[in-house]
Amino acid sequence: PQIIVVDQSGAESTLEAVEGRTLMENIRDGGFDDLLALCGGCCSCATCHVHFDPAYMDKLPEMSEDENDLLDSSDHRNEYSRLSCQIPVTSALEGCKVTIAQED
């Protein structure tokens, strides 16, 4: 699916995302240096924080307690916050817009 990624400077680009990989892997391997993803996807660093598209929140898997706790440590959390390493890319995400959260 095509996913629109907004980087930390506010620039938008379209990413040709691969299904079956996580959103974090897709964004990181798409060349976005803003998404640090320091723990490599183990849900322990919160540097893969994104603000998801409000219109697509119901297409996402439920948040685990670990993800919720990690997001709580961010000053930039809002109701659309997710850790992108916890989101598998599916065709249901076609056309959504994901904003990389500012660093804490």
| Per-residue DSSP letter, 17 | P
Query: At its nearest, how many Å lie between ligand FES and the CB of residue 81?
Result: 12
Query: At its nearest, how many Å lie between ligand FES and the CB of residue 65?
Result: 14
Report residue 5 as tokens. Answer: 């990624």
- Rank residues 6 and 36 by Cβ distance to ligand FES and give the closer one: 36
Instruction: State the Cα–Cα distance between residues 56 and 51, nearest whole angstrom.
Output: 11
- Residues contributing to the site for ligand FES (CB under 6 A): 24, 37-39, 41, 43-48, 83, 85
Query: At its nearest, how many Å lie between ligand FES and the CB of residue 1?
Result: 20
- Rank residues 18 and 42 by Cβ distance to ligand FES and give the closer one: 42
Query: Which three-class secondary structure state does DSSP give residue 69?
Result: helix
Q: Strands, E, within the chain: which ranges?
A: 2-6, 12-16, 49-51, 81-83, 97-100
- Rank residues 74 and 90 by Cβ distance to ligand FES and give the closer one: 74
